[in-house]
């Protein structure tokens, strides 16, 4: 397919999507989202529904928007520099290769009145990283993590092997009430009990999470050194999947923020009086995940030539310009320049349909079932702005080369059953192009979660990668960076993962709201204020 034909294909998809969008009525927003006049209410229109309200979900602003206002973590990140700073832990230090000492903040209570102490923190850590519980957050874990209380406010956190980036992992360590976990464990997924500036009030599945101010928050004491304040009586996080609906709620004053809007909506927000569009780089990288679970022999994706052809076949420059409206940059690997292990010497695969076709034909001639396989492009409904259009475009490019590719759009649970766990051995035909977030800013996280034999979520098992990752794990500084760069080179050459683009994320925001989008994209109300009230 020529570059001209490729651009025409994408433009036709975009034009069709815009035409359909123009014909769809905008749903009337729920009355619960209206800003209350009698009290200061903050309203946030989120792109995704809550998967659960369990404390471990505090690491994920996509699956659990707003939860971090209730559940706090051991270590926060400075919203400007992104450096680790104290939150529920006031200090931390290594005491040997396998043990870190954390000092717990004194004078803090959970929303149920129980005290925050070393015992509660150790219990939360062991609960979150438990192999038996098998929470998805374990994808962010390196060696196994356990914890024990040493005294009233000292916790030792241990790892099975040396883990120099353990403090980074404690940034996603949500701490919830030990009393609840022991006495009412069935309420843990339903009623989050934390220590944050806001506490749980109400949850309506498929619609809204409502929080109320916690005026007993420890952070209101200047002596505690917390950043932020309580400027709202109530927080309302609404689930509104449609981009146009989220934007409309900000335009009409029914919401302060619309999460992750498209480039078109961003331009519309900028042109609307009283609101604007605010964007920020993110840790999210679009990548192509392919079925690679052994045995790979005899499957299409088991052949490196096929994997490479899938990257070369797609004109991502055109897709980023047209469908994503420039809200992304072409990626070299699964992490961005801020991450340890970023290899600036890697070259993006680029767009070369002629070479892609040649590789496919060579593989087919050697008996690889290239053209007999029905490839499935798995898409998550409402994954990111215009995600389904992007996936349609990807399929179009692949089909131009004679491949049998179908698009399968699913809601969250069936999607995860297909491509959120290890593929069935030898399936070798499912793939997706979706975001991967590296909140730890370290390539080891990407390896451990998606390309490790020990991960329940990995695309496949690669013993050689595990050996190299294990050798890199105890290293620090320049040595660690170089070791991970070398692994990135191998992943790139073997096309174990297809890097696509680094995403910028945009929000429609009321001009009345004082808020700078943080690098971590957390919707923390303690960092916001309504300047028009």
What are the structure tokens assigned to 215, written together? Answer: 């005026």
* Half-sphere exposure for 67 (CA within 13 Å, toward CB): 29
Q: What is the pTM of this model?
A: 0.85
DSSP 496-522: SSEEEEEEEEEEEEETTEE-PPPTT--
Q: What are phi and psi of 321, to 5 degrees?
A: -70, -40
Closest CA to 313 of 399, 220, 209, 205: 399
According to DSSP, the residues that pair with 102 across neighbouring strands are: 92, 155
Q: How far apart, in whole angstroms, are the C-alpha atoms of residue 493 and residue 346?
A: 9
Provide the pLDDT for residue 29. 40
Residue 462 CB coordination number (10 Å): 22
pLDDT of residue 41: 98
Amino acid 385: pLDDT? 84
Nearest to 488 by CA among 350, 329, 290, 342: 342
The owner of tokens 């076949």 is 313
The residue whose two tokens read 């009030």 is 201
Give every residue of the chain whose pLDDT is below 70, as ranges: 1-37, 226
Please report the domains of the chain, with CATH numbers, ordered by start residue.
3-16+281-505 (3.10.105.10), 34-256+512-530 (3.40.190.10)
pLDDT of res. 424: 94
Q: What confidence score (pLDDT) does residue 528 get?
A: 96
- How many Å apart are CA 503 and CA 212, to the nearest integer? 32
Contact between 393 and 330 (Cβ < 8 Å): no
The partner residues of 433 in beta bridges, in order of sequence, read 288
- Count the alpha carbons within 13 Å of 331 in the hemisphere toward its beta carbon: 32
List strands edge to edge, sheet with 154-159: 89-96, 99-104, 154-159, 145-151
pLDDT at res. 384: 86
Contact 277, 267 (CB under 8 A): yes
Q: Which two tokens stand for residue 266?
A: 């961003």
Residue 356 gets which letter from DSSP?
H
What are the tens digits of pLDDT across the range 435-477? 999 989 999 999 999 999 988 889 999 999 999 999 999 999 9
CA atoms within 13 Å, Cβ hemisphere of 347 = 4
pLDDT, residue 51, reads 84
What b/e sequence results for 394-406 when a residue is b if at least 16 CB atoms lie within 10 Å of its CB, and e otherwise? Answer: bbbbbbbbebebe
């Amino acid at each position: 397919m020529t570059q001209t034909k490729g651009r025409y294909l994408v433009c036709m998809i975009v034009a069709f999507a815009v035409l359909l969008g123009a014909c769809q009525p905008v749903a009337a927003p729920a009355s619960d989202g209206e800003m209350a006049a009698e009290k200061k209410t903050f309203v946030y229109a989120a792109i995704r529904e809550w998967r659960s309200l369990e404390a471990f979900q505090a690491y994920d602003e996509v699956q659990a928007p707003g939860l971090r206002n209730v559940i706090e973590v051991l270590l926060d990140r400075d919203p400007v520099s992104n450096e680790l700073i104290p939150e529920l832990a006031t200090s931390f230090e290594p005491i040997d290769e396998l043990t870190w000492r954390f000092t717990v903040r004194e004078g803090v209570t959970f929303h149920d009145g129980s005290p925050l102490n070393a015992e509660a923190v150790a219990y939360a850590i062991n609960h979150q990283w438990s192999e038996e519980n098998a929470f998805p957050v374990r994808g962010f874990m390196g060696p196994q993590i356990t914890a024990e209380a040493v005294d009233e406010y000292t916790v030792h956190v241990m790892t099975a092997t040396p883990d120099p980036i353990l403090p980074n992992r404690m940034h996603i360590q949500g701490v919830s009430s030990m009393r609840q976990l022991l006495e009412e464990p069935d309420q843990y997924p339903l009623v989050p009990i934390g220590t944050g500036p806001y506490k749980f009030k109400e949850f309506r599945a498929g619609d809204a999470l409502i929080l109320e101010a916690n005026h007993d928050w420890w952070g209101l004491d200047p002596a505690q050194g917390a950043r932020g304040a309580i400027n709202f009586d109530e927080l309302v996080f609404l689930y509104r999947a449609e981009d146009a609906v989220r934007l409309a709620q900000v335009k009409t004053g029914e919401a302060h923020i619309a999460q992750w809007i498209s480039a078109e909506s961003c331009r519309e927000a900028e042109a609307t009086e009283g609101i604007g569009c605010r964007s920020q780089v993110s840790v999210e990288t679009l990548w192509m995940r392919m079925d690679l679970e052994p045995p790979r022999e005899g499957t299409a994706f088991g052949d490196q030539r096929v994997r490479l052809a899938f990257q070369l076949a797609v004109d991502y420059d055109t897709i980023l310009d047209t469908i994503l409206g420039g809200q992304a940059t072409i990626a070299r690997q699964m992490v961005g320049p801020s991450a340890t292990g970023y290899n600036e010497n890697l070259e993006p695969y680029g767009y070369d349909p002629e070479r892609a076709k040649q590789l496919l034909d060579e593989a087919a001639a050697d008996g690889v079932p290239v053209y007999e396989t029905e490839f499935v492009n798995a898409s998550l409904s409402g994954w990111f702005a215009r995600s389904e259009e992007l996936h349609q475009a990807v399929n179009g490019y692949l089909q131009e080369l004679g491949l049998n590719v179908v698009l399968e759009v699913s809601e969250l649970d069936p999607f995860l059953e297909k491509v959120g766990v290890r593929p069935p051995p030898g399936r070798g035909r499912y793939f997706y192009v979706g975001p991967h977030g590296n909140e730890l800013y370290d390539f080891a996280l990407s390896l451990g979660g998606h390309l490790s034999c020990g991960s329940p979520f990995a695309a496949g098992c690669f013993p050689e990668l595990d050996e190299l990752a294990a050798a890199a794990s105890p290293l620090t500084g320049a040595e660690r960076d170089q070791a991970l760069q070398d692994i990135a080179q191998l992943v790139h050459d073997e096309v174990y993962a297809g890097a696509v683009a680094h995403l910028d994320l945009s929000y429609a925001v009321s001009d009345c709201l004082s808020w700078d989008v943080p690098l971590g994209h957390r919707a923390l109300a303690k960092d916001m204020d309504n300047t028009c009230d």
